[in-house]
A and B are shown apart, each in its own frame.
Chain A
Amino acid sequence: MDWRVNPAAAIKSVKRVRVLFTLIVVVFAVFIIRLFYLQVIDYGHYHDVAMIDQLKKYTIPAQRGLIEANQGGNIVPIVLNQTVYTVYADPVYISQPNKIAETLAKIIGGNPSDYMGDLTAKGTRYSVITKRLTQDKEQQLMAYKYPGIGAQPESARIYPNGDSAAQLLGFVDADGQGEYGVEQALNQQLAGTPGRVKAVTDINGVPLPANSNNISIQPKAGDNVVLTIDMAMQKNLEQIVKQGDISGKAQGVSALILDANTGAVKAMANYPTYNPAEYFNVSNPDVFQNGTVSHDIEPGSIMKTLTTAAALNQGVIQPTTVFDDPGQWIVDNFTIKDVLPSAGPQSIADILNLSLNTGATWMLMQMGGGQLDQKGRDIWHNYMANDFMLGQKTGIDQGYESPGFVPSPDSNSAGINLTYANTSFGQGVTATPLQMAAALASVLNGGTYYKPRLVSQIISPTGNVIENNGPKVEKANVVKPSVGQGLAGLMQYVMENRAEPVNFDQTNYMVGGKTGTAQIAKPNGGGYYTNEFNASFIGFVGGAKPQYVIIVYAYDPNTSDYAAGYAGELVAQPIFVNLAHMLINNGYVAPKS
């Protein structure tokens, strides 16, 4: 074997190696330059493109707070949350529409033909089959694993008591905003704070934790709200209001029961009403309004209770004073008279019992020193606006509360004395049922105006009490305590002298009241309708002292069945009487002995 190396061949071989090496270096250099371009120079572009797919941003909705109320001595939830599902179809992937339609009909209800349209729809990839499907039904449906059928979860408010307390609760719209009632007034507390997730995810959307830019903020659930409402009382109130509305043929009825000694609203209801779980099916949005706080109307003769209280407190009349009724007053060229001729001596009790407009005007005159004048108007205005808090919102936790209206005592072109004479018997001034009830309560409890309240506690999701809303004195010494006792006696007299028997045991309980019938003002001015009235009744029930104030407004009842001017007695009074009996018979009122 020749071990000698051929120099020429060796040199050639070295050249080949060098060429190959150069080639490899060039190829690698191309790769490196390209990679440098992609990863360094064009980094921003590719980073952004990658992030579009990989970086996910979610908003995690916060669980809305519960609304609770008293029931049988316990606090029970009356508005809760539950996950419900919107079931949809992507018709492109639906291969067995008949079979799926049968399954849908079996689980959701209805006929298979009801679903065929959605399952075979053309030109859409998202066809909603049903909304608000419960979790158990959603699980039954999803167990079939039909291609093209999906379910999207969402949180919905659940009302275990159906339409009970609908208007005071309000509802939550599709955007998660509270509308009307407590839901609107306390939306901020109930809604909580949504959470936020920003994370790089895998192809299935699962966040990958090993990323320093990930953000994860957990949602903060809303606070729970405990109402002062007694659900059993509420339910009874609703039944009686509904019955009264139907029998009185009214356009609607609002009524509430207020604790006279704390300002706590125990029940408030309106009829007609609606089911808040199906608010989207309501055609007339007027039913969303809680009339007890939003309907400010001329209250009519129930105002005479406050006029009497003011006059008693001023010391210009006594419960035993006798009023020599002239039968009519001419004020600013208008005649103020009563439904029935009333000329002759009348007691203060009969001014209320017979509901004498002339008597109420006379009491206003007494506050002015014997005539309708600026002094009397100023004093009466001060009582209405600053003591009885009319003409301003009470601040109760309800959406769309109305402030009502109290006319200025200063001169106006319409005849200020006539305007103020009208206010003494509840015309020319507007007030909501809640305002009137709170004002009367301030007299009957001895002179303390308690801020009306509907919320007793606000509790955090972890169970800590955030707010404890006890009785809050808005104004003390509204009237002297003796005025409250005097007015209570006068109102008891009225109750005992009704034309229709009311059957209260006044030896063990005290029940007093006052009717009201107010002409309805024409919407664009020009006076009042002559044959359209609102009926009202305000009263109290108690044992040793007035415990609950009850007020009823019946809107525009059909007066063709009876004489105009008696709507209060014939439509609103029976509702009050039934409510007072209900409170006594169910043990809400402790007897005197």
Chain B
Amino acid sequence: MTYSSSVAVGRQRYAVRNHNSVSFKASAKALGPVSNTIILIVLACLLGLLYLSQVTKTNAYGYQINNLQQQQASLENEHSSLQVASARLQSLDRVQSSAPAQKMVAVTPSGTVQ
């Protein structure tokens, strides 16, 4: 039974033959079990859809996080490489063999009698 047919049945109760009714009072009608079931299923589907969309969205952040972590690791590697390069440039062997050091001349030590 549909909603419209249920209203028609209610209206028929007051439609007596040759009696023109100008008004009638429809009785209060609750939703039937089928309607409730359908509504519940639709709601469950909507909730499921909402959950799936949120999970998918959250997981999509995983890729962003992964990309950022890779970027961070790459920058850290670069930082380490630069740190190593800096340390190598400061190493005593390199300083000793550098052009300015090569031009230096030994002087007689003043602190000891040679």
Contact = CB atoms under 8 A, between A and B. Distances in A.
Nearest to A504: B112
A30 B20 CA distance: 58
Contacts of B18: none
A508 interface: yes
Contact of A210 (B59, B66, B109, B111): B59
Contact of A503 (B58, B81, B87, B112): B112
Interface string A154-166: 0000101110100
A22 interface: no
A463 to B, nearest CB: 14
Interface in B61-104: 61-63, 65-66, 77, 80-81, 83-84, 87-88, 90-93
A65 to B, nearest CB: 13
Given A210-B58, A505-B111, A160 B87 contact: yes
A249 interface: no
Given A80-B83, A209-B62, A209-B65, A508 B111 contact: yes
A135 B113 contact: no
Contacts of B63: 206
Nearest to A136: B81
Nearest to A158: B84
A231 interface: yes
Given A160-B91, A206-B66, A231-B92, A81 B80 contact: yes
Interface stretch (A70-78, A90-98, A118-126, A256-264): A70-78
Given A82-B84, A207-B62, A207-B66, 15 more contacts: A71-B92, A76-B90, A83-B80, A135-B77, A162-B91, A164-B92, A202-B59, A209-B58, A503-B113, A505-B112, A580-B112, A584-B109, A585-B109, A585-B111, A591-B111
Contacts of B90: 71, 76, 160
A206 B62 contact: yes
Contacts of B88: 160
A80 B87 contact: yes
Contacts of A580: 112
B93 to A, nearest CB: 6
B12 interface: no
B37 interface: no
Contacts of B50: none
A589 interface: yes
B56 to A, nearest CB: 8
A207 B84 CA distance: 32
A74 to B, nearest CB: 8
Interface residues of B, number: 26
13 contacts: A71-B90, A82-B80, A158-B87, A164-B92, A202-B62, A206-B62, A207-B62, A209-B61, A231-B92, A503-B112, A503-B114, A581-B109, A587-B111
The binding surface of chain B is classed by DSSP as helix
B55 interface: yes
Interface in A126-170: 135-136, 158, 160-162, 164
Contacts of B84: 80, 82, 158, 160
Contacts of B109: 581, 584-585
A87 B102 CA distance: 39
A494 to B, nearest CB: 17
Most chain A beta-carbon neighbours within 10 Å: one of B61, B90, B114 = B90
A76 B58 contact: no
B25 to A, nearest CB: 37
A235 interface: yes
B112 A80 contact: no
B93 A135 contact: no
A162 B83 CA distance: 16
A35 interface: no
A20 interface: no
Q: 9 smallest A-B Cβ distances: which pairs?
A: A585-B109, A584-B111, A160-B87, A210-B58, A160-B91, A208-B59, A160-B88, A210-B55, A206-B66
A160 B93 CA distance: 9
Contacts of B55: 210
A78 B62 contact: no
A339 interface: no
B91 A161 contact: yes
A161 B93 contact: yes
A32 interface: no
B92 A161 contact: yes
A509 interface: yes
A16 B108 CA distance: 120
A232 interface: yes
Contacts of B93: 161-162, 164
B92 A135 contact: no
Given A161-B93, A206-B66, A207-B62, A585 B112 contact: yes
Most chain B beta-carbon neighbours within 10 Å: one of A78, A161, A231 = A161
A589 B111 contact: yes
A77 B87 contact: yes
B112 A509 contact: yes
A54 to B, nearest CB: 12
A584 B93 CA distance: 22
A589 B110 CA distance: 12
Nearest to B110: A585
Nearest to A164: B92
A76 B86 CA distance: 10
Contacts of B62: 202, 206-210
A82 B90 CA distance: 17
Contacts of A206: 62-63, 66
